[in-house]
Amino acid sequence: MQLQRTISLIAAAILLALPSTAFGQGMLRLTFDQPPAMPPGTSWQLRHYNEYDNAGVISVISKPPTSFTRRWSGDSLFPDNGTAYLQPRQGTELVVMDGRGRLFDLVSVDLAEYGTSAMEPVVVKFTGYSYGGLAITTAEFTTAGVVDSLGRPAFQTFQFGPEFSRVYSVGVTPGLPLWSLDNLVMYIPEPSAGALFALGTLALCLLRRRFSVRSGCTQLSRKEAQAS
């Protein structure tokens, strides 16, 4: 009786703890504003960028491993939305993925031209990849040369369709002319109630099996002791 009660308490604790493994899941927005802080109007060359929240880390790397620009608003020659944003280089692909390996949906992204010296429309291609690196979906967005009151490129928001659901990573392919990217919105689905129940049931079965094996070994040892 005590053994069954112990098993039930442990199983209940596991079921309560399982939702916490999904903490921070839901809508995530990559703003590229996290430390280190940058003075307005400045830029840094990076090979990778990590953005942290309570869900863990979202990583952006360049492929091949060359550099890309992280620029902070404030320069009169470049887009200015008051925050930091990324500007890929020609011939590289920006790869975005969840640091914990979770699948995610792409929701939207802000795009703009590179600067006042390159105002023509740009086609930006997004490719969704599976776990094995297989390209499973693509989308292309074309900027429209929108400018702000000072004649600088202005960001536009583009929406992804349902085909960008449950991807492992996303590649963003630059071309000529260059361009700017900000506010990449992702959605990491919460685990379903069925999945949580299945995990809890599995944990309960494993615990029961473990205690059954121990109980059987104890009974066998007692019999052997009595026989001797």
pLDDT of residue 17: 45
Hey, which bits of the chain come out as E strands?
Answer: 26-30, 43-46, 48-53, 56-63, 68-72, 84-87, 93-98, 105-113, 123-129, 135-142, 156-159, 169-173, 179-188
| Centroid of chain to Cα 154 | 26
**Distance between start and end Cα atoms, the chain:** 30
Class of domain 26-188: mainly beta
Element (H, E) at 158: strand 156-159
**pLDDT 10s digit of each residue in the chain, 228 long?**
555 555 554 444 444 444 444 444 689 999 999 988 899 999 999 999 999 977 689 999 998 888 999 999 999 999 999 999 999 988 889 999 999 999 999 999 999 999 999 899 999 999 999 999 999 999 999 999 999 999 999 999 999 999 999 999 999 997 667 899 999 999 998 764 434 344 445 444 444 555 454 555 455 455 555 655
Tell me whether strands 93-98 and 105-113 are parallel, antiparallel or unpaired. Answer: unpaired
Which residue has tokens 């952006």? 60
Signed CA dihedral, 187, 139, 158, 60: sign only: positive
- Contact in structure between 90 and 143 (CB atoms under 8 Å): no
Alpha-carbon distance of 181 to 175, in angstroms, equals 13
